């Protein structure tokens, strides 16, 4: 067979062989971007809004607290810092037009058996957590042991007091009331150096945080 007749045949064989060869992928593999770690949660329940503790010292401007986390923590005060105090009250202090926060179980008739009442407080102090029931609002009428309260939603509820009802009042205070061993709750931002700037201080009670976020203690009447 001549070379001229072999050449087309050779070309045909090579073409068939090439068409059956596996194709090499030219796609470049790209890895999925690594997810960025989320920002760490702020340590301490009151990092953004305030803190609670016991007064160690106060020089008229800088308050030093011993906190449940060990402290000490410095709090900067000023003439614009609002100060209130929680003091002992009685059932007779529950009169029309005062605001109250009530904790206690619900009776079968829908009223509340008041175990504690905070007078001069605004809103739900702490959300009645831990399975506790309660209500809050403004006193509309007092009928002996029964007290009618108008809630923020406009509904009327009845609370029933007794000799075992613990009553406290929130009254105006002053920076001079910040003496050692007092339990306080501070509302205010945390500074870059770890100190706090107090916008509001509540003296007395258990030095516990209030509702609505990191710390929102009750306000005065």
What percentage of the chain has pLDDT greater than the value 90?
A: 59
Rounded to 10 degrees, what is the CA torsion of 137, 115, 143, 163? Answer: -150
CA separation (Å) from 138 to 144, 150, 163?
Answer: 17, 5, 22
Question: Which has the higher per-residue pLDDT, 41 or 179?
Answer: 179
Model confidence, pTM: 0.59
Map out the domains of the chain with their CATH numbers.
Answer: 50-85+171-203 (2.40.50.430), 87-170 (no CATH)
Q: What is the spatial distance between Cα 103 and Cα 89, in angstroms, rounded to a whole number?
A: 15
pLDDT digits (tens, 9 = 90+) for 32-70: 443 333 333 333 334 446 899 999 999 999 999 999 877
In angstroms, what is the C-alpha Rg of the chain? 35
- The predicted pLDDT at position 66 comes to 94
Is the pLDDT assigned to residue 11 strictly greater than 90?
no
Token code pair at residue 8: 């087309």
- The predicted pLDDT at position 20 comes to 52
């Amino acid at each position: 067979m001549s070379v001229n007749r072999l050449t087309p045949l050779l070309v045909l064989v090579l073409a068939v062989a090439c068409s059956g060869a596996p194709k090499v992928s030219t796609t470049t593999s790209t890895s999925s971007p690594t997810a960025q770690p989320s920002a760490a949660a702020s340590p301490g329940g009151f990092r953004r809004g305030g803190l609670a503790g016991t007064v160690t010292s106060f020089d008229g401007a800088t308050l030093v607290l011993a906190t449940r986390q060990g402290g000490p923590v410095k709090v900067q005060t000023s003439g614009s810092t609002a100060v209130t105090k929680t003091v002992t009250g009685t059932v007779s202090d529950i009169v029309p037009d005062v605001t109250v926060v009530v904790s206690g179980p619900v009776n079968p008739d829908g009223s509340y058996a008041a175990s504690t009442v905070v007078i001069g407080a605004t809103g739900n102090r702490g959300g009645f957590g831990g399975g506790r029931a309660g209500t809050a609002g403004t006193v509309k009428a007092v009928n002996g042991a029964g007290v009618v309260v108008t809630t923020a939603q406009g509904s009327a509820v009845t609370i029933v007091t007794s000799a075992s009802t613990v009553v406290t009042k929130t009254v105006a205070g002053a920076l001079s009331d910040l003496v050692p061993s007092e339990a306080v709750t501070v509302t205010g931002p945390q500074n870059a150096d770890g100190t706090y700037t107090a916008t509001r201080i509540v003296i007395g009670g258990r030095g516990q945080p209030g509702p609505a976020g990191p710390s929102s203690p009750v306000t005065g009447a």
